[in-house]
Structure 1
Amino acid sequence: MRLLLSFILLGVFSLNGLANNDYFQFSSLPDLLPNSGYSVQPGLAGPYTGVNNDVLILAGGANFPDKLPWEGGTKVYYNDIFVLQKTEDKEYSWELMKEKIPFHSGYGGAVSTSAGLLCFGGNTKDKVISDSWLLRYIPEQKNVAVIPGPQLPVPLTNFAYAEVDNKIYVAGGISEVEGSSTNYFYCLDISSENPLDWKWEQLPAWDGESRAFAVGSGQSNGETNCFYLFSGRKVQPDKNPEALYDAHVYNPNLNKWSIISEGDKQDFPIMAGTAFPIGAATIVFASGADGEMMRKQLVIENQIAELEMAGNKRENEITQMKSNLLDHLNNHPGFGNRLIAFNTITQKTYQVGELPGTGQVTTKAVQWQGDVIIPSGEVRPGVRTSDILKININTDAKHLGFLDVLVIALYFLVLSWMGYFFSKRQKDTNDYFKGGGRVPWWAAGLSIFGTALSAITFMAIPAKTFSADWSYFMLNMTVILVAPLIVFLFIPFYRKLNITTAYEYLEIRFNIIVRLIGSLSFILFQVGRMGVVMFLPSIALNVVTGIDIFVCIALMGVISLIYTMMGGIEAVIWTDVMQVFVLLGGAILSLVLIMLAVDGGFSSIVEVAAENHKFNVVDLNWSLKQPTVWVMILGGIFANITTYGTDQTMVQRYLTTKTEKEAGKSVWTNAILVIPATFIFFFVGTALFAFYNFFPGELNPTFQNNDAIFPWYIASQLPAGISGLLIAGIFAAAMSSLSSSMNSAATAYATDIHFRFGLNKKVSELNLARRATLVIGIVGTLFAFFMATMDVKSLWDEFQKILGLVIGSLGGVFLLGVLTKRVNSISALIGIAGSIIVQIIVAIYEPVHLIVYSATGVISCFVLGYVVSLFSQSES
């Protein structure tokens, strides 16, 4: 029955995954209503547009209501406010509000804030303005409150802008009517609830031309959210405007600009266009002018001017040129219909679709109710549109074929069979928790290796090196430094005491309270860890199959629970052995296939990675807030002491071998394997960066987390069957840790709590152990469901945060017991309490990088406990 359920679930995600690669679907919302005093709405250019209280607001803007500009038409600016809302029957309806904005103006900025839609800058028919105002829609009264906002430092219009992490950035623009473009760069912090606290700040400008009609967007560069500046045109009085094609990025954390493109290859022909961020690292350009038609128009106009200076002798030529100009303007093809994506990590552009009509410029793309709205705007010079384009982003992606599903199903069958096989050998809790001491050292070592690396390695490490560099490399290398400490200090303690859990030692050394704190902290951590290692591959499976994330989590949790509950620690260790081969084999196979796909193979990958500084390993800056080498070494040493020295999932393996010497060999097996494995998984991410550098169009722009990059490659690029095998590798990576957490947390509960206090003696110890495994497995799965509702940018970071904040003090208290004789139970408890306080402060104020959280926990506990012991009676 259980196997049948597995096949049914696998069949479900096989069918649900049948998706295409049409990332964008288009539809139209109701056309914009006419402005006050008019019966027809030709459309508006430069409106202030945004969202407040779940309605779309469009205000101001300009058009030519009577005639086109070359026909003598006059440009009219408006102060009307329009509101679009969805009615109860899910129909959309526009309403022209009775309230007005302070100016007949347009071509400014508008950003949704907690206080309302902030509109700022722009121009009227005769002046550029610096004023700003907030538009707040009041649903109960169905009106709009217009509230004064913070003034820009200078009048400014036709600038680029975007909101990034509660800060509005404004770049370029024009400060005077018919004036020059500028290189102003301002920032407004809108994090305060009170707009009176908002103050504009001038920041250093980019290294490039001044510009107006540029395009701005916020998006992550793979590590931090940044402000991106594209294209535009340089404007100078009495000179022809110059189209710009360059791109720049401002990193707020570093307060620094970097050049993406100098524009010599016309990389970004998107002047006056619209852009919107999607996914984890993509900006989509929905429109923009390439400047070619403007250039042709200027050539004709310059020729006319030259002919007119020659006098009446050339009237026929002048008439012909004016006819040519009129023909050029009337037959302008518009601003294109290509959707272009820019990946902020690879810094490559590629086409991802086509608009159903002509692109709309001098307007803004607004994200509303899960869709992107492009309202009104200009479709060719002087010509507006009243159309409201809605873009729905389709996050369904590739699917697995029947052969892939069959491979994964067979993998699950093997796991279930192994649980059944080892269940026959479980006679008592010594078998269930310690494998009867009959596990070979090499199998225990492979199990330690698989448990420690897990899905965090298979997915998050390649994602980290894809989006950043090798700065985390030294973190893994610290295992070699810690291994002697584990082999010569911790293992002898645990083996001589003949204990089942590490926390039994804490009672022997201190008291029952310290033991319970240690054991309960470990159980809590394992529940959190289970959430991470189930949620991570579920994201991948959701991306590559389209199946719901919650079904993925349930499937993984149930299969792991089956073989863990049946077979105990032996089933866990031997399935780990198999999963390590799948995990490493899958990574190596992927590397080989990437090298075969890339022209030039290994050398090309290295060349591209080196050009983009992907091999940065050592950052010698003296900072504990950035991933410097000091952070990696310090954080890695203490994290590994905590993990390998006090974590029951590791300690339990030391107790499954026949002798202390074999336990030591298992630790060295793991330490030695870490070196090549680290190179392999770090290089997978680098190879993926090179692959998508060569083939940018193969990258999915919609996934919300870069942790999905490796699974996306697997599903979209590999042949049927091989994809299934590597997806099974993702399962292997997760389940090797998941099953260990279930079994070890159950061991901690049964030994440190249930058996210790003699609870419920009606149930046999072996059945109690299996029941504890069941409960903890269910709780961990439920926590993974909870995590699926959270906005988690990087699961590697989240895992490190949990590791440091939850069990940081455990390493400290174990070191107090092992390394000192005078520290008593009171001192240890005070050390733990003080460490918890320190960790809370660290989490709130973030004075150090999250990798160092383990170090702050261990050091604070050890130092506080030891200092207190100096003023209290010692215990031997």
Structure 2
Amino acid sequence: MVGTGGPVATFSVWDYVVFAGTILASAGVGLFAAIRGRKETSSAEFLLGGRQMTAVPVAMSLTASFMSGITVIGTPAEAYMFGAEFWLFAISYAIMSTVTAELFVPLFYRLGITSAYEYLELRFSRPIRLIGTSMYIVQTALYTGLVIYAPALALNQITGLDLWGVLVATGAVCIVYCTLGGLKAVIWTDVMQMVIMLAGFVAVIARGAVLQGGLNKIWEDASKGGRLEVFDFNPDPRQRHTFWSIVVGGSMMWISIYSINQSQVQRYISCKTLRQAKLSLYVNMVGLWVTVSLAMFSGLTMYSIYKNCDPLTNGDVGTSDQLLPYLVMDILAEYPGIPGLFVAAAYSGTLSTVSSSINALVAVTSEDFILPVFKNLTQKQVTWMNMGMSIFYGALCIGMAGVASLMGNILQAALSLFGVISGPLLGLYLLGMLFRTPNSIGSLTGMIIGLTLTLWAWIGGQIYPPTADKTNPLPLSTLNCNSTIGQNYTTTAPWTSPVTLQPDVRPILADTLYSLSYVYIGLMGTLTTIVFGMVVSMMTGGCTQEKRNSDLFVQKKDLICFSCCSKSEASDVTEKAATEFYMGADNLTFTDFDVMSKDVQKSTRL
């Protein structure tokens, strides 16, 4: 009987057919893109889709890139255990989209960059660029490991297939279409995978509504269970989720993900016009709203069904991240192919993120480390090199999935990871974009201090976890369970998780810095970097630097879309005048911009 615990059904033949068909379709898109563009083998085509993409597919790709299997698996579990406060991230998405579109996109688009970290060299120095790139590579490899691990949990839970076999298969599919198709394959595959991911949520909600007697009953159960108490205005920064932590800390965290992360930057700079690039972020905002809303309502549906028999407490699943897969097999197993669709949804989110990460890692490695040293490589050699690096990074990310198995709740682990590394890195960019005083010495010092502080807080939080009253889930019951504990499939992690230390005496920082909400870690890193970067810069001659090119800074005209004249008018002016014109035109294409871009970049270097 649904909602009373115990073993659930496993995959049927039709489920395997649906699941396999989705995976093959994803790989097929990559093969199609490779065949269709076989004559267009330039590095720009492989890494940026020839800079001819439009807003809607790019927006769906932006959404799918970070709305991964972690979203499909982790967000419903968050709503089930902690309530709907996570829904407030919709406000953070709006703030993030506006800031990224109006501050970062015009700057990156104006400079015609391929790697987001090119800006750090133009504004500061090459060593800082390489440090920024290295931080991104470490962060992305770890994050991608988490992303691969999430659906492997799902498939292991409802099929019993070997976990490592699933991990390797996931990475292999991504390697195929990244290596063969480049960014165009990644983006168009993301579009298809986004549709499948949303369809999986809809299937869960629709079936749950039928079983529970309508959406109103689900909402009523969630309300009675305290799951709809969203607006907690407690200012305590140690509280896991509050209105302030999500809106303030969450906004800064998502800004660091979308504004300077190569996986995202690479998408919107592939758009053919600045207007399309900005529009892609605003369309993406709507996509994020839809995705998080469906994910949260799936979690509330799960609570309505299991309000009197929690599968986690009852031992039917091994971790909270297996709750939704368990629900799927409990309520949808009688419809052949539908559970396969759900697992395909989880995998679709994963494939989109992993492929995005691999493509972005190839881009930054090529642009920041290899091409500046080996300047005489032919176009064919560069293309083969990019393909080889796709295979290397795919294998690396599969290996990182083993590390991810040790990091606990995948949703919180993923977001914490971005805060620790991207927070200080965002502070470095803001120093360069918004202020003229910061110099290389001061900015690098500020970022090192910021990174040290975020790592200190994060590692301390792992050793000395926050007290229970800050992290406890909402009440769950096993009153109506009728099964013995532990009968169903549970996951065996690639490696055994370490035992959490429980010291007899907690240090002073255990209830302050170490107990800080994971959402605030990135904000702390950003502010620390900015403050110390400014102070050290002023102490080391930042106020007496020679004047920098204004193209390196955020300008008032970046905030408003202008349509002063058409592209044909722009082509009639000189290169210098064209650069100045670009500041007031949003429909200048990269085709027109290629000529002037080199001169702009030369004039902005140290």
Q: Are 1:848 and 2:532 counterparts? A: no
> Who is 2:534 aligned against?
866
How many residue pairs get matched? 484
> How do 1:494-509 residues align onto structure 2 when only pairs under 5 Å count?
494-509=108-123
Counterpart-to-counterpart distance in 2, 1:351 and 1:721:
23
Return the alpha-carbon distance in structure 1 between the equivalents of residues 311 and 342 of structure 2: 22
Contact 2:311-2:317 at 8 Å conserved across structures: no
- Say if 1:692 and 1:699, in contact at 8 Å, map to a contact too: no
Q: Is the 8 A contact 2:416 2:521 kept in 1?
A: yes
Paired with 1:832 and 1:533, the residues of 2 have a C-alpha distance of 27
Task: Give matches, 1:15-34, under 5 Å.
Answer: none
After TM superposition, give the deviation of residue 549 of structure 1 in Å. Answer: 1.1
2:67 is paired with a residue whose SS is: helix
2:493 paired residue number: none
Alignment partner of 1:412 is 2:23: yes
- Contact 2:312-2:320 at 8 Å conserved across structures: no
| 2:223 corresponds to | 610
Q: Which residue of 2 aligns with 1:777?
A: 394
Question: Between Structure 1 and Structure 2, which shows a larger proportion of strand residues?
Answer: 1
1:477 Cα deviation after fit: 2.2
1:423 counterpart letter in structure 2: A
Q: What pairs up with 1:361-376 in 2 under 5 angstroms? A: none
The alignment status of 1:726 with 2:342, answered yes or no, reads yes
Match of residue 171 from structure 2? 557
Q: Could you tell me whether the CA contact under 8 Å between 1:463 and 1:709 is conserved in 2? A: yes
Output aligned runs, 1:810-849, within 5 Å: 810-843=425-458, 844=460, 845=510, 846-849=514-517
1:36-435 equivalences under 5 Å are 398-424=9-35, 425=37, 426-435=40-49
**2:230 is the alignment partner of 1:632:** no
The partner residue of 2:419 within 800, 804, 813 is 804
Kindly indicate whether the alpha-carbon contact (under 8 Å) linking 1:397 and 1:545 is maintained by their aligned counterparts in 2: no
Structure-2 change in CA distance of 1:624 and 1:420 (3 Å): same
Deviation at 1:695, TM superposition (A): 7.0
State whether residues 582 and 732 of structure 1, in contact with CA within 8 Å, keep that contact through their aligned partners in structure 2.
Answer: yes
Report the AA paired with residue 231 of structure 2. Answer: V
Sort the Cα spacing of 1:593 and 1:492 in 2 relative to 1 into closer, same or farther, 3 A.
same
CA distance in structure 2 between the partners assigned to 1:766 and 1:351 by the alignment? 53
Instruction: Among all aligned residue pairs of Structure 1 and Structure 2, give the percentage whose two residues are the same amino acid.
Output: 25
Q: Which of 359, 363, 376 is the equivalent residue of 1:743?
A: 359
Structure with bigger RCO (C-alpha 8 Å, 6+ apart): 2
Letter in 1 for 2:336: A
1:491 matched residue in structure 2 = 105
SS in 2 for 1:633: helix
Cα distance, 1:761 vs structure 2 = 3.9
Which of 305, 309, 314 aligns to 1:691? It is: 305
What SS does structure 2 have at the residue aligned with 1:451?
A: helix
Whether the 8 Å contact between 1:397 and 1:546 is mirrored in structure 2 is no
Q: Is the 8 A contact 1:544 1:715 kept in 2?
A: yes
Aligned to 1:86: none
How far residue 847 of structure 1 moved from its aligned partner, in angstroms, is: 4.0
* Cα distance in 2 between the residues matched to 1:553 and 1:397: 23
Partner of 2:84: helix, strand, or coil?
Answer: coil
Q: Following TM superposition, by how much is the alpha carbon of 1:591 offset from its aligned partner in structure 2, in angstroms?
A: 0.6
C-alpha deviation, 1:693, in angstroms: 2.7
Q: C-alpha deviations, 1:191-249, integer Å up to 9, x for none?
A: xxxxxxxxxxxxxxxxxxxxxxxxxxxxxxxxxxxxxxxxxxxxxxxxxxxxxxxxxxx
Stretches of structure 1 that go unaligned for 5 or more consecutive residues are 1-20, 22-345, 353-395
**Deviation by residue 1:417-463 (Cα, 9 ceiling, x = unmatched):** 11111113141110010000121210000100111211121110000
Residue 553 of structure 1, CA deviation: 0.5
Q: Does 1:756 align with 2:372?
A: yes
Matched residue SS, 1:472:
helix
Superposed CA deviations along residues 326-367 of structure 1, whole A, max 9, x for unmatched, are xxxxxxxxxxxxxxxxxxxx9x9x685xxxxxxxxxxxxxxx
Check the 8 A contact 2:5/2:314 in 1, yes or no: no
2:307 counterpart SS class: helix
Matched residue SS, 1:764 = helix
User: Are 2:207 and 2:331, in contact at CA under 8 Å, matched by a contact in 1?
Assistant: no
Whichever structure has more helix as a proportion of its residues is 2
CA–CA distance in structure 2, aligned partners of residues 837 and 556 of structure 1:
34
1:801 maps to a residue whose letter is S
Pick closer, same or farther for the CA change 1:558–1:775 going to 2, 3 Å: same
Contact 2:198 2:291 in 1 (8 A): yes
Name whichever of 473-482 and 664-673 sits farther off: 473-482
Contact 2:193–2:348 (Cα < 8 Å) also in 1: yes
On the 8 A contact 1:654/1:663 being kept in 2, the answer is yes
Distance 1:712 1:351 in 2: 10
Runs of 4+ in 1 over 6 A off after TM superposition: 694-700
Return the offset for 1:767: 0.9
Question: 2:28 is aligned with what amino acid?
Answer: W
CA contact (8 A) 1:459 1:708 kept: yes
Q: How does 1:445-484 map to 2 (within 5 A)?
A: 445-484=59-98
Match of 2:149 among 535, 541, 555: 535
Q: Distance in 2 between matches of 1:559 and 1:526?
A: 18
Q: Deviations over 1:545-568 (max 9, x none)?
A: 001211111111111111111111
Q: Displacement of 1:522 after TM fit?
A: 0.8
Instruction: Give the direction of change, closer, same or farther, for the CA distance of 1:674–1:697 in structure 2 (3 Å limit).
Output: closer
Alignment match, 1:652: 266
CA distance, structure 2, for counterparts of residue 850 and residue 351 of structure 1? 32
How high is the TM-score relative to the length of structure 1? 0.54
Q: Which amino acid aligns with 1:403?
A: W
1:847–1:868 Cα change, 3 Å = farther
| Cα distance in 2 for residues equivalent to 1:776 and 1:450 | 20
2:81 and 2:330 map into 1 onto residues whose CA distance is 19
- Structure 1 residue aligned with 2:136: 522
Query: Does structure 2 conserve the Cα–Cα contact (< 8 Å) formed by 1:538 and 1:553?
Result: yes
1:423–1:699 Cα change, 3 Å: farther
Whole-Å separation in 2 of the counterparts to 1:696 and 1:830: 49
Would the aligned equivalents of 1:398 and 1:543 in 2 still touch at CA under 8 Å?
A: no
Give the Cα separation in 2 of the matches to 1:759 and 1:783. Answer: 32
Letter in 2 for 1:860: T
Whether contact under 8 Å (2:43, 2:382) holds in the other structure is yes
Matches of 2:375 and 2:518 in 1, distance apart? 39
CA contact (8 A) 1:531 1:783 kept: yes
Distance 1:699 1:410, change over 3 A: farther
Q: Write the deviation string for residues 595-652 of structure 1: whole angstroms up to 9, x where unpaired.
A: 0111x32121111111111111111112101111111112111112211110001100
2:67–2:291 contact (8 Å) kept in structure 1: no
Aligned residue number for residue 713 of structure 1: 327
Q: Show the counterpart of 1:622.
A: 235
Asked if the contact 1:477–1:674 (Cα under 8 Å) also holds between the matched residues in 2, the reply is no
- Structure 2, unmatched stretches of 5+, are 461-509, 549-606
